[in-house]
Amino acid sequence: MWHKNDTKLPQVIFADERTAAYGTENCRRMRQHIFTELSPIAGDLAARYIKTAERFSFEQANHELLDIYSQLRIEDLNLCGDNEELFEAAKRFAGKCQTARARAQSPADAYQACLRIVDHYQVKRPSIKGDDIEPALNRMCCHRWWYRRIQILRLRKIETIARNIELVNRLRGTYASDYTIHVKRKQKERNRLHLASNFVCNQNGEIFSLQNLADRSVSNPAVRRAELMTRIRGFEMVANHLGHVGEFCTLTTPSRMHACLHTGAANPRHDGTTTLEAHQYLTHLWALIRAELDRQDIRPYGFRVVEPHHDDTPHWHLLLFMPDKHREAVRKVMSHYALLDSSNEPGALKHRFKVEPIDPAKGSAVGYIAKYIAKNIDGYQLEQDLYGNDAIQAAERITACANTWGIRQFQQIGGPSVTVWRQLRKLDKCDDPELEAIRQSATASDWAAFMLAMGDPETPHNRQAIKPLYDESKTLNQQTGEVYSPLTGRYGDAAPLRVAGIVWKGLGYSTRKHVWMLFTADSEDVTSRSVAQDARTSCRAAAVSLGVEFKKVCPEITEMGKQKSVGYAITEKLGSFWAVVMGKHRVADKGMIASQSEVERHVADHVAGIEKEEKK
């Protein structure tokens, strides 16, 4: 196995041999050091070095290589290190903050000292709510917080460099660099393993893996795509019902924000704008457009899709519905703001803002946007993207780009709350006939009926008929089995309120049917590593499956269960004995316990042993 700091790494040898003809011996030693430190991207750096040296000079190639090295090596933080190295670095930095906090004379001094460490390593500062700096201090002293921040910094730094040195374009790696794709694939594998090995259990003893629940939610690309298409179709049906027209608009950034030209060559006008900065530009642009439209009492509704160009520069597609009388005003406002920046550059009038009216004779609005939805999720029913790449692989690279930069790919504009829609789909049958009609439209996936029941498409959320209900989160105490609401989070913040149902005519309707707790499975079955945790939820159901009634086996458990819960009573009295009752574990020298008489005898012996220990 190659050592991570070995100069004989294959990729380092390859990079060194490719660049050996350039510069002096000192230049070569410098390159060897950098290639070794940045070994995951050594081959790409060597290719860039040769290109710069031949285009300009080896001196300029040296300067560019050193600049890249300085961005990725921040003193003792090597952003090209593996996950283990980054995790150890996170521990060191958290330790530095803990030391600074301990030495400070006041929380304010500690906060400033920790901020200097955070800024030095170029990670994003923790946010502060109000004047309370304790949660921020707790974050900066936590290695988990540091590790997450470093991982984000690593990908964004490397992706920015890759984009600037022409590694992200239609000729090399479309939409995202190959390095980022590799990292994201590994991350997905780890995520799948984590979800498959972690379970949630409710008070009824029902157990689900997190992977199973993720597959049923919008985390599943197929479910996500289906819900988006349902909502878009609903918007179009409402627009047709109201006699509104549809417009398909595209907003792009100025040329200076593009790293590469359409051909794949470097863009000489590029000013170093990152992917995130380009997206923030479009977000600000849309905020200006919406503010102006609001002043004119125009409120279009529809959907927005963020899609990258081949060089990872984002552009927006918007499917908007509105009354026909507002069509020209919307076009004028959007065109005006789209051309505020660099309006005189070549191609600005043609590319910066495009609009195409939805013509029912040519196809539906859903047809206009369907391929963009599929292309940005999983490539469903598409063969190739615009550049001839396989649609499924293109979708993988597009989602990797969005995840790296934290870009929200799809956003609803106007219309009712999707949170209310999802909560209604969880709600049981209602006595109120009006609410029941709305609930049925949601459960039937009829977004159009739901949208009309919630009010006019232009109605703001705070004036709609149904609003989300927020309440404190509920969880089970792992030791006592009692339900409680955490007052603070891991870092001392006030625990946020969670969506718990809907509010209709001033009355709250809860959709919480269960209280859940999380546990991790071992390699043999779904048994919790915390025995008491599963005992609360599994004993009763397991015993019933064996034909055992606990009130006959152990009356005192039944009495305790009346006061709190049967699960709590079992946990307190039986401890790990639940596994025996479930029949999933063997008792030494006894084999599987199957008969009721054996269960009764072993339960009695176990309880007697517990009481004897308690008396001691």
Q: What is the DSSP-derived secondary structure letter of residue 427?
A: P
Q: Which residues contact 362 (CB under 8 A, 6 or more apart)?
A: none
Distance CA 20, CA 255 (A): 37
Are 204 and 537 in contact, with CB atoms under 8 Å apart? yes
| Residues 122-129: contacts with CB under 8 Å, at least 24 apart | 122/74, 122/153, 123/149, 123/150, 123/152, 123/153, 124/149, 124/152, 124/153, 129/493
Q: Is 362 left (phi over 0), alpha (psi -120 to 50) or beta?
A: alpha
Q: Annotated catalytic residue: which of 368, 380, 509, 568? A: 368
Q: Are 550 and 558 in contact (CB under 8 A)?
A: yes
Nearest-angstrom CA–CA distance, 164 and 177: 11
The residue from 111, 372, 509, 568 that is catalytic is 372
Contact criterion met (CB below 8 Å) for 573 and 614: no
Question: What pairs with residue 132 in β-bridges?
Answer: 129
* Helix ranges (DSSP H) in 197-243: 210-216, 221-242
Check if 372 is active-site: yes
Active site residue 111: no
The CA distances from residue 188 to 88, 156, 193, 400, 606, in Å, are 22, 18, 9, 11, 45
> How far apart are the C-alpha atoms of 209 and 196, rounded to whole Å?
6
Radius of gyration of the chain (CA): 30
With DSSP H G I counted as helix, E B as strand and the rest as coil, what are the percentages for the chain, rounded to 5?
55, 15, 35
Q: Are 249 and 317 in contact (CB under 8 A)?
A: yes
> What is the rounded distance in angstroms from the CA atom of residue 101 to the CA atom of residue 112?
9
Rounded-to-10 torsion of CA 109, 114, 115, 119? 150
> Which are the contacts of 250, defined by CB distance < 8 A and separation ≥ 6?
315, 316, 317, 318, 353, 354, 355
Residues annotated as catalytic (active site), given as ranges: 368, 372
